Structure 1
Amino acid sequence: MKRLALVLAAMAGPAAAAAPAWPDTPLARVEALALLQTLNADLLSHPSATLTLERWCQAHGLADPPIVHARRDRGAARALPDDLRQALGTAPDTPVRYRRVRLACGDHVLSEADNWYLPGRLTDAMNRELDTRDTPFGKVVAALRFSRRTLSARLLWSPLPAGWEIRGLPPAAPGPLPLPHALLQHRALLLDGQGRPFSVVVETYTDQVLAFPAPGARQDAD
């Protein structure tokens, strides 16, 4: 039985070792919140979420090489919500394409993105690549020298309960820190170099952005 467990652990490979559970301690909760706020600020200050995630992946050793790949859901279909159509500034009859991808670094899916874009504001080569390949959207349209206007950014989960600064930090609990799948969500408008909107995205960042040892736990091990 022990031999079988060792074999299964070897088959799991580095991906399993790269995603240890965080302890459910006051320190780990504070660290998780600080890291989520750091990632949030980094995403808000750069136009390309893909490149931001690659920097995050490299900084935290999530994969080698730290390259983000898009895993496209080719069967996905979703109508453009009215509020996002208004942000995009398009008429109801304007052609809009939809793309749903999971942005992964190694074995870690860091983000799930819904993307509506205007093919008429992209080059033919860009549209062909988006239609036929799984390249991340930000890399395909990089030549547009685009900027990003955030429509909303919110934490979907907080490691600390409301009022913790008055009632104190929650006590340590046995077992790992329970992380929900979705941690952070951004809604953003992408504009080309002429200031014309050409895409709206809804990006949901997953628990895999924390798929590395908690800083405090790593220091304890050292």
Structure 2
Amino acid sequence: MAFSAALALLASAPATLDQFEAKLAEHDSATVALGEWCAVRQIASPAQITASDRRQVSSNDPPAKMRRLLGIGSRDHFTMRHVHLDCGDKTLSIAWNWYVPSRLTPEMNAALATTNTPFGKVAAPLRFRREAIDTVKGPADNCPAETISTHLARLILPDGKPLAYLVECYTAANLAP
């Protein structure tokens, strides 16, 4: 069977949650994993992940839990970015991302504030690693009811400092044939 025929057969077969979770587990960046998933499942062409419905809030008064999770002191600022990660016209993830702007470059902060580029793509040059905190089947932490899986994680810089805390609500669009 030719590669393109095998790919088409794979894309038309129903996906399982286990297959989807395995793809997410292959990468430190959910953006990269979703891009690959979108391509293999032929959810859209081109298989490009964008951040839509962006909302951003800055503060130096996050909850105590967030200060601990991000490893920030009382004078440090953080930013929260809420996005829908889309592939074509399908929303694959609804995510909340609390991050420390001082741990990014000025160019990265500008891109996050003014573009639809996902956080994972913007911050990729920092070579972060993902630290899973919890995975819940279905919705959790303010996720929509149709959420198939919720991931709580931190992104850690090579020097060990936390870069971001994430709540990712993955939608049923990931499993649609």
What TM-score, normalized by structure 2, do the two folds share? 0.81
Structure 1 window deviating more from structure 2 (80-89 vs 102-111): it is: 80-89
Higher relative contact order (CA 8 A, sep 6+): 1
Letter in 2 for 1:42: K
Q: Could you tell me how far apart the structure 2 residues matched to 1:207 and 1:142 are?
A: 27
1:99-118, aligned counterparts within 5 Å? 99-118=81-100
Could you tell me how far 1:205 is from its partner in structure 2? 0.2
Structure 1 residue matching 2:155: 3-state secondary structure = strand
Letter in 1 for 2:122: V
After superposition, the C-alpha distances for 1:162-199 in whole angstroms (9 at most, x for unaligned) are: xxxxxxxxxxxxxxxxxx51110001110122221111
Structure 2 residue matching 1:92: 3-state secondary structure = coil
Could you tell me how far 1:75 is from its partner in structure 2? 6.5
Q: Could you tell me how far apart the structure 2 residues matched to 1:80 and 1:203 are?
A: 19
Structure 2 residue matching 1:134: 3-state secondary structure = coil
Q: CA RMSD in A?
A: 2.2
Sequence identity percentage:
39
After TM superposition, where is structure 1 displaced by more than 2 Å over at least 4 residues in a row?
A: 72-85
Say yes or no: does 1:208 pair with 2:166.
Answer: no
Could you tell me how far 1:95 is from its partner in structure 2? 0.2
Which residues of structure 2 form unaligned runs of 5+? 1-12, 140-144
Q: Which residue of 2 aligns with 1:60?
A: 41
Which residues of structure 1 form unaligned runs of 5+? 1-27, 158-179, 213-222
Letter in 1 for 2:26: S
Cα 1:81–1:36 change in 2 (3 A) is: farther
Q: Could you tell me how far apart the structure 2 residues matched to 1:88 and 1:36 are?
A: 29
Structure with a larger share of its residues in strand: 2
Letter in 2 for 1:188: A
After superposition, the C-alpha distances for 1:60-91 in whole angstroms (9 at most, x for unaligned) are: 11111111111033377897454343222222
Letter in 2 for 1:119: P
Q: Could you tell me how far apart the structure 2 residues matched to 1:76 and 1:92 are?
A: 17
Q: Could you tell me how far apart the structure 1 residues matched to 2:42 and 2:109 are?
A: 33
On the 8 A contact 1:72/1:99 being kept in 2, the answer is: no
Q: How many residues end up aligned between the 2 structures?
A: 159
Q: Could you tell me how far apart the structure 2 residues matched to 1:91 and 1:132 are?
A: 27
Structure with a larger share of its residues in helix: 1
Structure 2 residue matching 1:73: 3-state secondary structure = strand
What TM-score, normalized by structure 1, do the two folds share? 0.65
